[in-house]
């Protein structure tokens, strides 16, 4: 079957690369992927595959086998990134490779259909908007796009430093990322009578130095950084009664993030209390860390080895980056997930508007994903 899939991909080589070029030419910002979604839907419907819309631009494509079996999902994100040109005008670029992910999931779906590889259970392609907003997965989950799935797989092309073309890892371990907004409450007073007030900016400074002194296990990747602050300012002679700062927190695991949030909260509360104020810590955004299923990872590993050989198989890759893919797992703890890091010789780096990569990676990705899905859906 591996041979059959490889041959089919090679037969469709030009069409697959054309799909990528078409999608690359219509980069759209999160929740506005109208042309992208229409393009993908048109290709799928033409092949007789049922699509179902869950959000304005998010949809699924299902292929149902004739026998009972697991519900296996494959998720591709479809949004691009915004940039500003020298005139200050916003333009969009597929600088994170989501056009390649959409192409891979599109063609995996088309080939599963064309080759009749869904014997049992259900295959569901999830075309997800707004990954860069870190809110697209949440919208799709809320709309029920992943309901009753047993397994869900994802893929991301990687920078040249992490993986070369012809290499892949079955487990790209994203970090947890949490954005918190901390409000320090003090008491206003005239600048000549500071003893009658509580300086919220002093409380914020103490809180920030407190959280800069936090340790969680340094053997794991983590960080906490203040990235914004606004306080006082009513007049230069008023002791400020409020300061608000934003924290960017990252941690290699969700347990580590929980510990970090607890310690950050303590640092803020006690820093504020040291000057007689108090702190409110609100989590305003973020994504959970990867939590993969060993069995699901092993299915991807087997497919990688069969397509590119054991020399191309990489060990797990750990990245400080976040992915809203992991909200599918967070929303449904029994869901088994795995996520492939696909070598692509991407330079100079993801999110750089000049990002380019070797498109051969797309063909390799389609081969691996089609093989992995086929094996989960009754083909041996």
Residues that bind a copy of itself (CB under 8 A): 175, 177, 179, 191-194, 199, 201-202, 204-206, 208-209, 212, 223, 225-233, 235-240, 243, 245-246, 248, 250, 285, 320-321
Q: In the complex with a copy of itself, which residue's Cβ is closer, 190 or 262?
A: 190
Structure tokens at 316: 């797990």
State in angstroms the smallest separation of the CB of 265 from a copy of itself: 17
Residues 41, 47, 53, CA angle at the centre, nearest 5°?
30
- Give the closest residue to 316 by CA, choosing from 273, 253, 271: 253
State in angstroms the smallest separation of the CB of 177 from a copy of itself: 8
State in angstroms the smallest separation of the CB of 191 from a copy of itself: 4
Residue for token pair 């203040």: 226
Residues 73, 25, 343, CA angle at the centre, nearest 5°?
50
Backbone conformation region of residue 321, classed left if phi is above 0, alpha if psi is from -120 to 50, else beta? beta
Q: In the complex with a copy of itself, which residue's Cβ is closer, 51 or 205?
A: 205
State in angstroms the smallest separation of the CB of 323 from a copy of itself: 12
Q: In the complex with a copy of itself, which residue's Cβ is closer, 87 or 235?
A: 235
Residue for token pair 């600088």: 95
State in angstroms the smallest separation of the CB of 364 from a copy of itself: 27
Q: In the complex with a copy of itself, which residue's Cβ is closer, 158 or 375?
A: 158
Contact by Cβ (8 Å): 156, 323: yes
Q: In the complex with a copy of itself, which residue's Cβ is closer, 131 or 202?
A: 202
Task: Sort 219 into a burial class: Cβ within 10 Å, 0-12 / 13-18 / 19+.
Answer: exposed
State in angstroms the smallest separation of the CB of 91 from a copy of itself: 18
Query: CA 269 → CA 179, 184, 273, distances in Å?
Result: 17, 8, 6
- Strands 120-128 and 67-77 come out as parallel
From CA 140, how far away is CA 54, in angstroms rounded? 6
State in angstroms the smallest separation of the CB of 226 from a copy of itself: 5
Q: In the complex with a copy of itself, which residue's Cβ is closer, 248 or 358?
A: 248
From CA 171, how far away is CA 72, in angstroms rounded? 17
Q: In the complex with a copy of itself, which residue's Cβ is closer, 243 or 335?
A: 243
């Amino acid at each position: 079957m591996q041979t059959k899939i490889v041959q089919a991909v090679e037969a469709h080589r030009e069409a697959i690369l054309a799909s990528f070029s078409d999608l690359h030419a219509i980069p759209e910002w999160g929740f506005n992927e109208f042309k992208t979604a229409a393009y993908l839907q048109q290709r799928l419907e033409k092949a007789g595959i049922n699509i179902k819309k869950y959000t304005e631009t998010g949809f699924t494509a299902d292929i149902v086998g004739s026998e009972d079996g697991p519900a296996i999902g494959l998720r591709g994100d479809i949004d691009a990134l915004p940039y500003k040109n020298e005139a200050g005008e916003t333009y969009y670029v597929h600088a994170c490779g989501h056009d390649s992910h959409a192409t891979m999931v599109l063609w995996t779906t088309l080939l599963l259909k064309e080759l009749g590889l869904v014997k049992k259970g259900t295959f569901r392609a999830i075309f997800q908007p707004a990954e860069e907003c870190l809110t697209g997965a949440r919208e799709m989950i809320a709309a029920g796009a992943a309901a009753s799935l047993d397994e869900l797989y994802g893929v991301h092309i990687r920078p040249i430093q992490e993986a070369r073309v012809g290499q892949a890892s079955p487990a790209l371990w994203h970090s947890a990322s949490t954005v918190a907004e901390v409000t320090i409450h003090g008491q206003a007073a005239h600048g000549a009578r500071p003893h009658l007030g509580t300086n919220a900016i002093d409380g914020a400074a103490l809180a920030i130095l407190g959280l800069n002194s936090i340790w969680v296990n340094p053997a794991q990747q983590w960080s906490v950084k203040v990235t914004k602050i606004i306080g006082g300012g009513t007049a230069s002679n008023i002791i400020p009664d409020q300061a608000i700062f934003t924290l960017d927190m990252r941690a290699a695991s969700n347990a580590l993030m929980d510990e970090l949030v607890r310690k950050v909260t303590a640092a803020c509360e006690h820093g504020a209390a040291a000057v007689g104020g108090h702190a409110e810590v609100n989590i305003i955004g973020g994504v959970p860390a990867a939590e993969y299923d060993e069995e699901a990872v092993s299915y991807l590993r087997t497919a990688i080895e069969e397509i590119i050989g054991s020399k191309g198989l990489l060990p797990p890759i750990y990245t400080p980056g976040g992915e809203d893919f992991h909200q599918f797992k967070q929303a449904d703890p029994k869901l088994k997930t795995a996520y492939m890091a696909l070598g692509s010789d991407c330079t100079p780096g993801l999110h750089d508007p000049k990002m380019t990569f070797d498109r051969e990676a797309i063909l390799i990705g389609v081969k691996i994903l089609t093989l992995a899905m086929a094996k989960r859906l009754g083909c041996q």
